Chain A
Amino acid sequence: MSDRSLTQTEVSLNPLSSERVNITIDGISLSVPKGENVIEAALNAGIDIPYFCYHPRLSKGDAANCRMCLVEVASTAPDGSVRKMPKPQTACTLPAAEGMIIDTNTEKINKDRKGVLEFLLINHPLDCPVCDRGGECPLQNNTLYYGASASRFTEEKRHYPKAYPLSAQVVLDRERCIQCARCTRFTDDISGDAQLGLLKRGSDVEVGTFAHTSFNSKFSGNVIELCPVGALTSRTYRFKSRPWDLMTQKSICSKCSNGCNIKLDYRMDEVLRVNARLNEDVNEEWTCDRGKFGHDYISSPDRLKSPLMRKDGKFVEVSWHQAYSLLADKLRAAGTNCGAIAGGRTTNESVYLLQKLFREILGSNNLDCRLDSNPLPASDPLFKKSLQTGMGNKIADLEKMKTIMVIGSDLQDEQPILFLRVRKAWRFKGAKVVYVSDHLTTDSTAVSDFASVNLIYQPGSEITVLKDLENALARVLSANTADSEPPAQLNTQPSEATGLSNNDIHLAASLLAKGEITIIAGKSVSQHSQYVELYQSLTNLLASTNSEGNLNIPVHECNSLGTMDMGMLPGSGPGFTKCAGGMGTAEMLQASADGNLQVLWVMGADPVQNFHNNELAVRGIENCPFLVVSELTLTETAKRADLVLPAVSIAEQEGTFTSCEGRVQKLFKAFEPVGSSKPDWLIVAELSAILGAKNLYFTFNDVLQSISKEVPGYEKINPGTIGDQGIFRTVPAAG
């Protein structure tokens, strides 16, 4: 961990002024914010300046090392005389000033660019044909447009062993590196782990980790996309394809609830890599490593290719016709004595049709989607209030906050994109962070590294900590002594059980007292047995600083929120409307274990692995009279099923996910499903038709339109409006 990553940037401390200056670039007069870099002004105006090391999302302090963005600069003196600077300047570090005249396309500049490229290519191996970056490489492109056709360098180039493994995912080729420091600045500025640095000096400079440890950042995959040459490449994508052989489809990451926009690059029905897709309001242009590298399941050979039916204890492949007939018979026989569990990975359409099938056709209300231990019953008004809202702030709005309190969350791991926003707010926007956690979750959390105050309390004393904080905040607000030391006379000792010093509590309270605060609560809060008290304390904290509504309790799976919105809860119909109650996950598993539940349908979930009470899950699943599982592969639950229906991955279907902030985003279909597998919604739609449904659904759009009509909050969402970047579902006013 270096100090570079532990300071707020200059931009964050001194934001750009609103003053504007007039500059001229290539004869075009522009009015730009004072202090904006010339390269940004030029690129915004559509004037091309080649660059390698500059990146709009990285701090500018360490830039200007590739020398590619050289421009000629002249300044206008007050008397009107124009004076040219004797040497070209780097546009990426040149702040715009009144009267600046910039030329980007003179003979001199073109010669300089040729020279710079010749220098950059001196040690570059030019092994483009075998380089994974070849075909989409900024160095290739700029050399083609601005470089000389041949090199005059005849000496021996710098040599290193090829394919040095920086980590299990990232491969480094030091010969190709042009020392632009984008990757090292990424780990300083964005991911915050500061693991990469430039080692050695001069032409020997190489990217590496301190003491050659593994580059184990949770966001390491982004440096592969950032690298303007092929120095950092992906181990999983290595030599898999060339860019011109790839097809690309827009998609949504299904690894967590943040809803990153991604691109699936695939070839011959195999997803070969995942790249970030720009969405300024969600993931900007980043992905976490789980999303970037965890796509091998899509093209796994273990994928189910046809329905499996258990005959004499063994699975045999059957046709869909046989599978449907059996399932329809069993459901008819079971009557209302059946239930369904859908995981948070299923699309809105699948869940919507599934609950429709159970509620309207079968007349069963035994539906649930929760596998984690939730302290509240679904019928509790607070459950609806806290979960339907999910996040009080949009992800993009987090960076506008002055103080961000993160409580009980290993944010980097639980909500990687929220973590990046919080860090951006701190590093580039001057926000202060208060981190509240118990000892158990601190070690692996990166938030504590840059938090202004770390309240690390004794496990189990959450409630007391928040009460102390509430009291301290009240004191600070009443005394209006936000920045002073804790006043001695009010210095009541905080409860000893928490293990916190009075000073820390006061410091945290004075940060919160400044207003514009937001709170992000993690798993340890949402699954806490005293959730109600915690929720109350957190809302009190927000209320006393006029920040009501800024409570964020993000869900954890890619469509947890959507599944609940669609009504996959006992006693809570589509849009959290009240409806007849039924059994929840635990009750269903218990009933199944006792043999009281005739048919249990598990869709996109693996209770045996993921249910919080493993013993009950195994008993319920194994003793279920008829268990039907729709899944991609034979999971632990599917292995115990009587009928397994092959479902499809995100790449093979259309569908929508509702992210933790309530953004409904669309999955686009990349290629045809493997084998005879079908999207979950189609399986349910076809089965519903067999069981006598009145409304028939044939396409994804049919279902989405039906959702738009029938699910409160989803009125605005239809195939025409959803677009590439998704739109927000609305939360109806409390009632």
Chain B
Amino acid sequence: MRDDEPTNNHSQISHPLMNNPAVKDFLTRITQGKGKAEDTAGSVKALATGFSITFKHYLEQQLKLKPTNTIQYPEERREQFPRTRWRHVLTRYDNGLEKCIGCSLCAGACPARCILVEAAENSDENRVSPGERYAAKYEINMLRCIFCGYCQDACPTGAIVLRKDFELASFSRADNLYTKEMLLEPYNASSRVPISVVDKQ
């Protein structure tokens, strides 16, 4: 044995447990290769005790003896909280006109500066939103967005809302640049339910 090689001297280990003589003895024995038969038995017992708890829970889950918090995503989906803030949607009025007027207040309020709005003027031939102005371009960089919801707060017409769709992963950075077409609520004039009916329900 060379002098500079660390000796297997457990007494150098400083741990509160080492104050327990039983632990100290046990560790000394097994690290010096002088373990006894009852040492093995004790270890097996400890393992069995631990796994029995795991097994108990396993049986409980399998036999549905207790309710579970785990869901089987993606086959199952948890219901989102009512005020949860995920994917943005640009909403419409019931007649199909866009609520967004291209005012860029969302972009002004955005702390991550991830919104880009370019406005244009409505004309009678091309009416996109009520009033004079509409958003010709509306883009959100979802990689930058921190889902704070300030844009929704700032919006004077309630056009931009953060809804519950949280599945926003994609395989490329470019896919995370959401354009107006992606954000805009689809509109189908025939299947539209008037808002008064919804209110009564």
A residues sitting closer than 8 Å to B (CB atoms) are 127, 129-130, 134-135, 162-163, 238-242, 244-245
Contact = CB atoms under 8 A, between A and B. Distances in A.
A129 B132 contact: no
A526 B111 CA distance: 58
A135 B118 CA distance: 16
A239 B104 CA distance: 10
B119 A239 contact: yes
23 contacts: A129-B156, A129-B157, A130-B101, A130-B102, A130-B131, A130-B132, A134-B103, A135-B108, A162-B132, A238-B121, A239-B119, A239-B120, A239-B121, A240-B119, A241-B104, A241-B118, A242-B103, A242-B104, A242-B105, A242-B107, A244-B104, A244-B108, A245-B108
B133 A242 contact: no
B4 to A, nearest CB: 61
Interface in B111-134: 117-121, 131-133
A245 B117 CA distance: 9
Contacts of B117: 245
Nearest to A127: B131
A403 B132 CA distance: 51
A238 B118 CA distance: 11
A262 B156 CA distance: 33
B26 to A, nearest CB: 70
A392 B131 CA distance: 55
Contacts of B133: 130, 239
B100 to A, nearest CB: 10
Contacts of A241: 104, 118
A163 B103 contact: no
B19 to A, nearest CB: 66
Given A130-B102, A135-B108, A245-B107, 10 more contacts: A129-B157, A130-B101, A130-B103, A134-B103, A162-B132, A163-B132, A239-B102, A240-B119, A242-B104, A244-B108
Contacts of A240: 119
Contacts, number: 38
A245 B104 contact: yes
Contacts of A238: 121
A135 B103 CA distance: 11
Contacts of A244: 104, 107-108
Nearest to A130: B133
Contacts of B120: 239
A242 B108 contact: yes
Contacts of B132: 130, 162-163, 239
A127 B132 CA distance: 10
Nearest to A245: B104
Nearest to B157: A129
A129 B108 contact: no
B49 to A, nearest CB: 65
Nearest to B104: A242
Contacts of B105: 129, 242
A241 B135 CA distance: 11
B174 to A, nearest CB: 18
A130 B107 CA distance: 14
Contacts of A245: 104, 107-108, 117
Interface string B127-168: 000011100000000000000000000001100000000000
B36 to A, nearest CB: 78
The 9 closest A-B pairs by CB, nearest first: A129-B103, A130-B133, A239-B119, A242-B104, A244-B108, A129-B156, A239-B133, A130-B101, A239-B121
A101 B103 CA distance: 45
Interface string B75-116: 000000000000000000000000001111101100000000
A244 B117 CA distance: 12
A346 to B, nearest CB: 34
Contacts of A162: 132
Nearest to A129: B103
A432 B76 CA distance: 89
B64 to A, nearest CB: 55
Contacts of B102: 130, 239
B112 to A, nearest CB: 15
A713 B75 CA distance: 81
B150 to A, nearest CB: 14
Nearest to A244: B108
A163 B123 CA distance: 12
Contacts of B121: 238-239
A251 B131 CA distance: 36
A244 B115 CA distance: 13
Nearest to B154: A129
Contacts of A129: 101, 103, 105, 156-157
A240 to B, nearest CB: 8
Nearest to A163: B132
Nearest to A242: B104
B99 to A, nearest CB: 12
**Which residue of A163, A239, A244 has the most chain B CB atoms within 10 A of its CB atom?**
A239
B76 to A, nearest CB: 42
A240 B132 CA distance: 13
Contacts of B118: 241
Contacts of B157: 129
